[in-house]
Structure 1
């Protein structure tokens, strides 16, 4: 039975709060799917929207509240879904939805649009991990391989800048595809988390300030942090071998350029291009990846189910909180007064 009221998170001018609002029973149409999340993930894109430092695409809308796993609580007659189905959510399709940071998420669209937006999920609730961002990492790696026309990373050397949740997923996938991997991270906390959770071996993680000692070692360097600054891009260029590939996955903004060149890294990332640049006497190829599709979620589920040892994704969860705890924590993370390694999830049963 659907409730009379429900709790939702509101973000207004940088202020995050919990509100109890009427459940819109009269707005449940034939084109509506209502999802009751069980777990929600906090993404760095969410914190960027809190402080207003993220460019919001007009074709996708805000991301605030997009990582989740739950169940269909209501399915309109034309949606193709049924109540009780276990689902996750792809925010890269339609902006016609409410925030996922709530006890209920409302998504509206045509049946084909909903089929790409609301993605059926296997049972991962007992050992929870977030299908998004892993689907985005799957998409990014497959796009890179497509652009450079490689069948895999077999025998390749891959460097990853950033040991957050996404960086560690990149490392898992690159190793699965045959690469040797080193993940570089500035702060000790994330390096220790990766080692303590046995996500990386000792020789697979290094301080970012030691990057100069690995100059020219990598066939591929993936730049993962929330903001792909010119300084990080320059470090990535130094790590790459002559002829190497740099993939820009981390956040960019309109007008961003690769250091010392006219290469527009924001356009390269959002349009998933591959462009040559000259850097430190080397010819490099800068690529990008952006978003994901239903097929990437399905491949993510397959990889985890068939290769659980290669993808210990549940070990990435570092903390569980309640919805009531979320406003204070996300505000502190956005203000950079608090930080957590791995993935913080909101457990709506708490």
Structure 2
């Protein structure tokens, strides 16, 4: 990379393409130019490539980067930052050798939390998804008996946080491959991992749905895991805006995005439906603190979840292949973008 042009991924019809263009130039008085080093691939990135996401664009957001230059003294060159994509700033994708953010000074401070010293880049790249999991964990009562439906990154991060909160956690998934892969990890070695078809009659006081997209089958399976009365169904994963609870007119995406609470009675069960969405600045601070030290039950940490690494050209091939086949890559992939890549 040189200071005249940089490579970046661009969304195009049918997938992505790797382009090269001049460095972005700020048009606002307050701005920060960041050099992404390591960026995590998120399920929402795949939705955007497939054009199946009907909300704001966050393409390339699980970033750890170094400040190159800025209009503000708060962001000296070399400062290591991550990204809170929920803050309303104007920015370019972090799947790029340069990322420009523009907004008010307060917005930029909120959008670019500092990475704590001693936190490796691979671990710090989990800050944003972990912050969202922190927000979700706040909706679960300490000490609860919890089933987490969905064994993707969100479900695993939530399992880690709920264990720290003293909850009894069971990880439930529709297919066995992901559960098998997680069985050898120190993070989840002591966490029961069960196929949803094999749970039997066991019920839980709290069920959290973390799947990328809620459908009738997943909802029905999660609802049946709840106690008959007094249970809590927490909505953490993606939900289409027009999806309704089967047999009702209840739309759940609004509850999730509004972080609302609603009582639902269905099929002989009555439970609170609780929404959780996004993360606050306090959630990012809490996530950073968790990532700064080893977890109490293992000398390892969350970067154990990384299953693959790619560069920007490799990411373009990976995403276009996912569009072509309709199959998402399994497990967490990191994109290495730094100056030496």
Give TM-score, length-normalised by structure 2: 0.92
1:244 corresponds in structure 2 to: 231
For the structure 1 residues 203 and 22, does the alpha-carbon distance in structure 2 shift closer, same or farther, using more than 3 Å as the test? closer
SS of equivalent residue, structure 2 residue 94: coil
RMSD between aligned alpha carbons?
Answer: 2.0
- Residues 152-181 of structure 1 show CA distances to partners (whole Å, capped at 9, x for unaligned) of 2x1x21001111111111111111111111
Are 2:159 and 1:171 equivalent residues in the alignment?
yes
**Distance across 2 between alignment mates of 1:83 and 1:269:** 38
Structure 2 matches for 1:210-229, cutoff 5 A? 210-211=198-199, 213-215=200-202, 217-229=203-215
**Distance across 1 between alignment mates of 2:135 and 2:240:** 21
**Runs of 4+ displaced beyond 6 Å:** none
- Residues 118-169 of structure 1 show CA distances to partners (whole Å, capped at 9, x for unaligned) of 1111243365342121111011112x14xxxx4x2x1x21001111111111
> Residue 342 of structure 1: which of 317, 331, 334 is its match?
331
SS of equivalent residue, structure 1 residue 259: coil
1:112 corresponds in structure 2 to: 106
- Residues 14-54 of structure 1 show CA distances to partners (whole Å, capped at 9, x for unaligned) of 320110101135x3754110111110111010111111111
> Residue 218 of structure 2: which of 222, 229, 232 is its match?
232
> Residue 245 of structure 2: which of 220, 234, 258 is its match?
258
How many pairs are equivalent? 334
SS of equivalent residue, structure 2 residue 282: helix
Give the drift of 1:342: 2.7
**Distance across 2 between alignment mates of 1:19 and 1:232:** 39
SS of equivalent residue, structure 1 residue 296: helix
SS of equivalent residue, structure 2 residue 96: coil
1:20 corresponds in structure 2 to: 20
2:175 corresponds in structure 1 to: 187
**Distance across 1 between alignment mates of 2:106 and 2:15:** 35
SS of equivalent residue, structure 1 residue 119: coil
Q: Is the 1:189–1:341 Cα contact (8 Å) retained in structure 2?
A: no
2:6 corresponds in structure 1 to: 6
SS of equivalent residue, structure 2 residue 205: strand
Whose helix proportion is higher, 1 or 2? 1
Unaligned ranges ≥5, structure 1 = none
Q: Is the 2:15–2:319 Cα contact (8 Å) retained in structure 1?
A: no
**Distance across 1 between alignment mates of 2:128 and 2:106:** 20
SS of equivalent residue, structure 2 residue 296: coil
**Distance across 1 between alignment mates of 2:191 and 2:44:** 30
Are 2:122 and 1:136 equivalent residues in the alignment?
no
For the structure 1 residues 95 and 12, does the alpha-carbon distance in structure 2 shift closer, same or farther, using more than 3 Å as the test? farther
Structure 2 matches for 1:85-164, cutoff 5 A? 85-122=79-116, 123-125=118-120, 127-128=122-123, 129-142=125-138, 144-145=139-140, 150=141, 152=142, 154=143, 156-164=144-152
- Residues 70-126 of structure 1 show CA distances to partners (whole Å, capped at 9, x for unaligned) of 11111114x632211100001001251111110111100111111111111124336
Give the drift of 1:233: 1.1
Give the drift of 1:186: 2.0
SS of equivalent residue, structure 1 residue 200: coil
For the structure 1 residues 193 and 204, does the alpha-carbon distance in structure 2 shift closer, same or farther, using more than 3 Å as the test? same
2:289 corresponds in structure 1 to: 302
SS of equivalent residue, structure 2 residue 90: coil
SS of equivalent residue, structure 1 residue 101: coil
2:194 corresponds in structure 1 to: 206
For the structure 1 residues 331 and 238, does the alpha-carbon distance in structure 2 shift closer, same or farther, using more than 3 Å as the test? same
1:276 corresponds in structure 2 to: 263
Q: Is the 1:116–1:293 Cα contact (8 Å) retained in structure 2?
A: no
